[in-house]
Chain A
């Protein structure tokens, strides 16, 4: 009797172990390493599908994401436009920054720049939104996690209803406790509807550590950043950003409104990183001499 019982148990256990593997094997497509194409063209209108509700999950890229000459909506490329509403302090900082991007004479050769990026300092937030923007987004019932392609930073947006920390001198306060500023700040998000997530961020790094963009616009730790992620359809996510930084600008202004295109989720992205050694080698072989005036 005992032996028969054992045989049945072993049989059941074996079946349980084998079945999922078999089922998985039947469902799986051949496993490959597709070529990285991080900027797939937008999907044709006829091929568009409805967006899933309350989901930003996916790998997203955009041909507008580079923003090499400053934030997308206010490029610093010499074209006429409304001047930014600098405060006196903001303008003073702007004039002290020497970017290697943009247009000369403001843009300087690599050897003369004081962009913290060239030391491989973290870009910080929101500059990570303005630098070769491409991301992977994951989420669960508590949060949205954004993994950025460049230098692999990541940030968490809490969507569980917690309140935004209060900005205080040199950091933030939450639940009666002080917290230090950090490179990606503190973010909370709330769904305005089934397809729109609004995100507020405070508690970012001070102006002696970070820039707003490649052309040396300033940003301070007193900024409040509002982002809107709007899922327009299955393949398109519109990512907007407005900054309110009374230390640097006299009024809030919008920096970007970028349509992100859903990429092939199997793409194994090529690493984009900042290496002090490689930057030094690049400048030695090319950068300094090529850009000498």
Chain B
């Protein structure tokens, strides 16, 4: 019995330590390590728990428009990074930096956004919540 438990436990530990270092898990989403910066048009901004969501239409190099959904942390965490419930208006042209989902779908974790008036939300120096910090 004891040896079986040891085997089971060793298997669990093995699984936990075999995770690729090229990706990490924050909240529910496996993210790629690289951050990308793109311009797009805001479709909606959801100021909500557990995480805020920015939907933005981005035109790719092939001319196709793809709707990306980017998450931040919860309102109380991103407030100090400059985000507010009225930060984005539908139709705003904004520049966003984010890590995309590792599964290749158009989702990602927003790290910063530059508004039409040039103001930056999040990013270094704005007190943005670090990876894995803030409410999950």
Contacts and interface: CB of A to CB of B under 8 A. Distances in A.
Most buried by A among B30, B46, B49: B49
Which range contains the number of B residues in contact with the other chain? Answer: 35 or more
B71 A68 contact: no
A292 B1 CA distance: 36
Contacts of A45: none
15 contacts: A38-B76, A38-B80, A68-B132, A78-B17, A107-B28, A109-B28, A269-B76, A270-B76, A272-B49, A272-B75, A273-B49, A286-B69, A286-B71, A286-B107, A291-B30
Interface of A: 35-39, 63, 66, 68-69, 76, 78-80, 83, 86, 88, 91, 94-95, 100-107, 109-110, 132, 149-150, 214, 269-275, 278-279, 281-282, 285-287, 289-293
B30 to A, nearest CB: 6
Contacts, number: 127
Contacts of B127: 37
Contacts of B9: 83, 86, 91
Contacts of B108: 290
B101 A104 contact: no
A76 B13 CA distance: 10
B15 interface: yes
Contact of A36 (B15, B51, B76): B76
B60 interface: no
B22 interface: no
Contacts of A287: 27-29
Contacts of A38: 76, 80
Nearest to B69: A286
B48 interface: yes
Contact of A272 (B1, B19, B74, B105): B74
A95 B28 contact: no
Given A103-B19, A270-B76, A282 B50 contact: yes
Given A83-B13, A132-B135, A272-B49, 7 more contacts: A38-B76, A66-B132, A78-B16, A132-B134, A272-B75, A282-B48, A290-B101
B42 interface: no
Contacts of A78: 16-17, 19
B74 to A, nearest CB: 6
B105 A289 contact: yes
A102 B17 contact: no
A104 B25 CA distance: 7
Most buried by B among A69, A78, A101: A78
B28 A68 contact: no
Nearest to A292: B103
A105 B15 contact: yes
A293 B25 CA distance: 12
B133 interface: yes
Contacts of A292: 103, 105
Contacts of B76: 36, 38, 149, 269-272
A120 to B, nearest CB: 10
Given A83-B13, A272-B74, A278-B49, A290 B135 contact: no
Contact of A275 (B49, B80, B103): B49
A119 B50 CA distance: 12
Nearest to A66: B133
A77 to B, nearest CB: 8
B1 to A, nearest CB: 8
B29 A290 contact: yes
Interface string B101-122: 1010101100000000000000
Given A37-B80, A282-B48, A286-B69, A291 B29 contact: yes
